[in-house]
Structure formats: C-alpha cells, structure tokens
A and B are shown apart, each in its own frame.
Chain A
Amino acid sequence: MATERMTVAAAMVKALEQEGIKHIFGYPGAAICPFFDELIKSDIQNILVRHEANSGHAAAGYARITGKPAVCAATSGPGATNLITAIATAHMDSVPLIAITGQVVSNQIGRDAFQEADITGASEPFVKHSFLVKDGTTIAEVMKKAFYISGTGRPGPVLIDVPMDIQKQEIDFEYPDTVEIRSYKPSFLGNKLQIKKAAEALKNSSKPLICAGGGIFTVNASGELLQLSEMCDIPVISTMMGIGAIPTEHKNYYGMLGVFGVETAKYALKECDLLIALGARMSDRSVTSLSPFHETVVIHIDVDPAEIGKNSPVNIPIVGDVKKVLEQLLTELNEMKHPRWQDMLYTHKSERVKRNTDNEKSAELVSPKYFVKTLCKYLPDKCAVCSDVGSNQIWAANNVVLSGQGRFITSGGMGTMGYAYPAAVGIKTAEPDREVVALSGDGSFQMSFMELATAVQHGINVKGVVFVNNYLGMVREYQDKNFEGRRTMVDLSGSPDFLKIAEAYGIKGETVSGNDRVECAVKKMIEANEPYLLQVMVDRTERSLIE
C-alpha cells in the first residue's frame, strides 16, 4: 500500500477498515469528534449507545461471537472513565476489545483541563496493553499493534488514547501488513514431552474428567473437545465461561461447577482421579475447595502461563493454544471406555433432575428455571442467550440448553450487572441471523435498560426478558445465609412496570405471570421481527439453587 497524506483521525479509520471492522459502538464528546467526523466518510457503521459502559459491553458481545477484536469509542474524561467497567469486564473474561478514547489537547495534559482524565493510568490494571499517542506519526504502528495484542494469545482489551490535537495532525499514512513485538510472542504449540506425559496419565486414569473453560471459544476448539470426550469416553463439566463448549444435552456433559454450579459437576470434581482443565482459570468461584485435589492428577492446558498453578496445584502444565494442544494430544490417544465412572455420574444427575422438576411445578407465578428451559426449547440452534448477574445468571447458567451453534454469553469473572442487554445488542449487530435473547433480573435491567433506545434507533432485533421479583435476589440469599436473615438494601420496591418502559420506547412485549403462559409468550417473542420485551413475574421465594 502506498503512503497517503491524511489526518491521524482519518488514519485511525483507515486502519479500522484494514482490520475488517464493520461496526463501532460509541458515544461522542468534543475530544473524540475528529475521529467520529472521519467515520462519516467510511462504510463502518457507528452505533450510538446511551452510556459508554454499554458501548464496551456491546463491543465485547460482538467480539465474543465473532472471535475477533471489536471496537468501542468514547470521549475524554467521564466518557473514558465510564468505559472502565466494560474494559475490566472484558479483561476478566479474556475478550478482545479495542477501546478508543479522545484525550484533551496535548499541551493541556496534566493540567486538570476540562474533561481530562488519565485514562491510560486509570485503566492500567484492566488492560492487556494501552497506548497514549503523543506523536501522530506512530498511529499506524499503534493501531496494528493494538489489534495484534488484543486478538492473539490470551485475548484482552487494548486502549488507545489520542489527544484531540494529535487526531487533527497531518501525517503520511501507510498501514503495515505485519507487526513484530520482540517482547510479545504468544506460544501456540504445546510442549511435546508434556503432551506425552498427559496422554500417559490419561491412560492410567479410571475416572478422568474434563473441565472446559471460556478458552475453548477463544480458539474455537469445541470440535476437538468433543472428539476427546467421545473417543476417550471422558465426562465433561464446565466453568460458567465454558457453558456450551460441548452441547449441553450431550450424554457426557454434567453441568457447571463452582459455588453456584450443578451438584453432579461438583460431585464429579470431587470423585475424579484425573482432571483436564482446558482454557479455564480455575478461579475461586469455580474451584471452591482444593483439598479433594490431593490425589487427583491435574493437567492444566492454557495459553497464559501465568494462569497455570495460580489458583490450583497442577501436575502436568501445558502452555499453548488449547485447540492446537488438543490436536496434539488426540494423536497420542486411542479409544477408551469408562462405563462405571459414567454410570456413577449419570445416576447422580438423574436423581437431581427429578428433584428440580418437582420444584419447578410447585412454583407460584413463574419458575425462572422452567422459563429458561422452555425458552431454549423454542430457540433455533443458532442462538445466543445472554444473562446478567445475580440469581438470573444462575437460573440461566444451570438451565440453558445449547446445541453446537448456540452460545451462552455472560460476565463470568467480573460479574458485571447490566451486561446482558448491551452484549445482546452487540451480538445481534454482528450476526443478525442469530436469535439473541438477553435475560436480566429487575436489578440488572435497571442498570442498562436505556439501551432499549439503541435497539430501536438502529433496528437491532434483540429480545429482552426481565425476571421480576422486586428483589436483588442473590444478595438477599447471601444475607439470609450469612447475616441471620437480616435483609438490607435488597428490596427493589419502586421499580417501574417494565412493560410500560418498553412501550415508552416503542417496544412491544408482554407480562407473564404463570407457568402456563410461558410457552405461548416465548413463541410470540421469538416470532417477533423487532425488539421485544417479556416481563416475567417470578416466585419471590425462588432461590438461585435448590440445595
């Protein structure tokens, strides 16, 4: 490509085009105006959100479904600081997010100018890397590096902060084809010796278990995972980020582990003699007690060496791209059978399923668990179920049914309320032919329902579901358990009728107050060819878990 004379703002847009960017989620302000002004001339579609944090969540949803970096943009100062929660959320869940922020003019930096915030400083703990562009001639290199760093290895957010005067600076622009960073070499293949060791250990195991994490989706390794599980007859459990890594109805799948996980998954973790952790951080929320691990051989496969051994002891560490390592491992293995072990888990699971179903039938108003199952019954294979944070997240995580193409998208590590709706907006923008449903509680929904306007304005056909119980249910549960039932700050009285809120935005919907109405309402929602909202009145006593 030949060198062209243009402003830095124009160069940024050209770079985004070169990276294949089709959409940007943003919110303007003076300091980012030169950049937005250049976007007018581009085919890149700019989607105006209603709060900067949601531009980040929307871009994160977009990135998680496409597997490629997605872009959000905000102005300096409060615009930029509002982005921090979204950046931190993406960081925790290893999402490739590019955040572009405007900054006050260079000679005002450090003088506490109007809308000045040290955003590279403030976001530092939550980014994979960041750039403050002080010299416009570096912009091509910065943009190329940002996309490379964000999208490779363990993906993560990269922030690019550009002062207003730099955006207007004229430069000679040529976008590089490749980039070389001597200090950044994400490793891809696994160590051969370690892989042989892992295969050997697996052959000696009678109760092996796979724990699938979000890393499976990062490198699209579901196929290899399924192959390993089926060929070697290994049960699979998942972290919250790993839900859907293999179809949830697969005979080898036993659910999500962790504090709010499925009993059978916890039981499997306790009983197994070998654990293969695949692209999972083994965080405090997943692995609550390490003691059962004493005699369990742990094989931890992750692209980030810092995650291996951080949260749980490991016997065979393998650093590498999960997909490539699985391919390598599969060549070392032959068919295996573990019928007794599978029977043990299957029996455990069957008992639990029966107990759950009985509980759902006796619910007053709507059982949210029954609702999630019914919703999934009618959703097409190519769907995305986004959940917020709180009881609704657990109801969704433990009852969602996904085939190979379906995705469950939630804020796993950070537990950011208000994530579902904007993330759904991002997903639907990326793949309009995917049916996208955002499940929220009445608490979370009130943190982001302003984005109904975004859906309406840009014709983004997102389906919203709000579970209403007038409680911050998960905190209430926590208080009941740990504060002798003294409830404080969890009563959401004063919340609006969400159907009226939807109507005010011109969005159609329905209120569902009984299990018998669920099926009909769900079908109607899915058939709607426009944004739609279901207000689901759930049993006030409904907890996240039965146990």
Chain B
Amino acid sequence: MKHTISILVENNAGVLARISGLFARRGFNIYSLAVGVTDNEKVSRITIVADGDDYTLEQIEKQLNKLIDVIKVRTVKPDELLQRELVLVKVSCTAAQRHELISIAKITQAKISDISIDSMTLELSDCESRLENFQELLRPYGIKEVVRTGTIAIQKGTAALRA
C-alpha cells in the first residue's frame, strides 16, 4: 500500500542524505520524494510517497523520528489529503496536430508552456491518477520527454503540520 509521509526537518547539510539513506538501508521503497523550504527558512519539508504494509509504515515513522534532524513526521490518510504533482510533457506535434493538443490541454486544464515547429510542452498540476490519464492522452502523439516533481501533500481542513 502507498503512504504519503510528510517530514519536517532542520534545514541542515546532509539531512536529505540521512533520510534517503535510511530508506535504502532498511529496504523501504520510495515512489517519489519532494523537498522544499517552508515559511521558516530553518525548516524544510520533505514529502515521501512510500510503499509498505502497516508494519513497514510504523517502522519508517519510528526510524525517521530517531534521526536528530527530523522534527516531525506525519502520515495522513489518503482521503484527508490534498495531493499535487507537477508534470512537464514534451510531445511531438506537427502543425496539423496543434488544435487537437490545444483541446486536450483545455479539457485537462493543462497549460501549454512551450511550442516549436514540431513539438509542444504541456504542463499540468494535479493528483497522481489524473497525471497518468493525461500522459495516456498524449502518448499517441509521441512523448519525447516527461518530467515529474514528485508528490507534495497537505492535510485538508484547519490542521497544520508546523515545527
């Protein structure tokens, strides 16, 4: 089962290496990982989507909490979570195909970020399953490149994760 784990860490050198190292050596699989600074410049937030049963999740949380630079760890149930990921897709696109791609962009609420004689780059921020749909829609045109940021997540409602 996939879990989305939010981790607040001290913004110290090497903290990401400590966390990714922990996942690797304890055999926890990472699907995606995203890092950025919070409104407090001394604190960064890491969002990890990881795979595992309840035992694994409990171990991940406990082991993360043991790292000195980890301030807080929270795993929120999927239905209480607002998840987003940004994807950039560069597809082949002849002049004749442009209208079709523009209409796909409209329907999916994607943005056309770049265009050239024979390609187009579309940008979409959404949840994981929709991004996958989006990619499938573009596949017939010939995907040249896909770049994803990894999932970030925030809890719905007023609850907030702060250091």
Contacts and interface: CB of A to CB of B under 8 A. Distances in A.
Interface of A: 120-121, 124-125, 128-129, 132, 134, 149, 181-184, 304-306, 309-310
A304 B13 CA distance: 25
8 contacts: A121-B17, A125-B21, A132-B14, A134-B13, A181-B68, A182-B71, A306-B62, A306-B63
Contacts of B69: 183
Nearest to A134: B13
Given A128-B68, A134-B13, 14 more contacts: A120-B14, A121-B14, A132-B13, A181-B68, A182-B71, A182-B163, A183-B69, A183-B70, A183-B71, A304-B66, A305-B62, A306-B65, A309-B58, A310-B62
**CB-CB nearest 9 A-B residue pairs:** A306-B62, A129-B68, A183-B71, A184-B68, A125-B25, A124-B21, A305-B62, A306-B63, A306-B66
A181 B55 CA distance: 29
A304 B17 CA distance: 23
Nearest to B63: A306
A183 B62 contact: no
A184 B62 CA distance: 13
Interface in B61-85: 62-63, 65-66, 68-71
Interface residues of B, number: 19
Contacts of A149: 68
A448 to B, nearest CB: 27
Contact of B65 (A132, A134, A182, A305): A305
B98 interface: no
Contacts of B62: 305-306, 310
A129 B15 CA distance: 11
Contacts of A134: 13
B18 interface: yes
Contacts of B58: 309
Interface of B: 10, 13-14, 17-18, 21, 25, 55, 58-59, 62-63, 65-66, 68-71, 163
Contacts of A310: 59, 62
A310 B59 CA distance: 7
Contact of B10 (A120, A183, A304): A183
Nearest to B62: A306
B83 to A, nearest CB: 25
A306 B73 CA distance: 14
A181 B67 CA distance: 12
Contacts of A304: 66
Contacts of B18: 124
A306 B10 CA distance: 21
Nearest to A183: B71
Contacts, number: 35
B8 to A, nearest CB: 9
A131 to B, nearest CB: 9
B59 to A, nearest CB: 6
Contacts of A184: 68
Nearest to B59: A310
Contacts of A181: 68
A150 to B, nearest CB: 11
A125 B18 CA distance: 8
Contacts of B66: 304, 306
Of B13, B63, B66, B71, the most chain A CB neighbours within 10 A belong to B66
A129 B70 CA distance: 11
A451 to B, nearest CB: 31
A121 B15 CA distance: 11
Nearest to B68: A129
Nearest to B70: A183
A50 B20 CA distance: 36
A165 B107 CA distance: 60
Contacts of B163: 182
B84 to A, nearest CB: 27
B57 to A, nearest CB: 12
Contact of A306 (B21, B25, B59, B68): B59
Q: Which of B10, B55, B62, B163 has the most CB of A within 10 A?
A: B62
B76 to A, nearest CB: 20
B26 to A, nearest CB: 10
A306 B64 CA distance: 9
Contact of B17 (A124, A129, A182, A183): A124
Contacts of A125: 21, 25
A67 B71 CA distance: 28
A132 B13 CA distance: 9
A184 B65 CA distance: 9
Contacts of A306: 59, 62-63, 65-66
A184 B9 CA distance: 12
Given A124-B18, A132-B14, A183 B68 contact: yes
Nearest to A184: B68
A305 B65 CA distance: 9
A504 B26 CA distance: 46
Contacts of A309: 55, 58
A121 B14 CA distance: 8
Q: Which of B14, B25, B55, B163 has the most CB of A within 10 A?
A: B14
B159 to A, nearest CB: 20
Contacts of A120: 14
A304 B66 CA distance: 8
Nearest to B24: A125
Contacts of A128: 68
Nearest to B21: A124
A204 to B, nearest CB: 27
Contacts of A305: 62, 65
A310 B70 CA distance: 20
Nearest to A313: B55
A119 to B, nearest CB: 12
Nearest to A129: B68
A270 B42 CA distance: 51
Nearest to B64: A306
A124 B15 CA distance: 11
Contacts of A132: 13-14
A181 B12 CA distance: 13
A149 B69 CA distance: 12
A124 B20 CA distance: 11
A134 B14 CA distance: 12
A273 to B, nearest CB: 25
A182 B10 CA distance: 10
A124 B71 CA distance: 18
Contacts of B25: 125
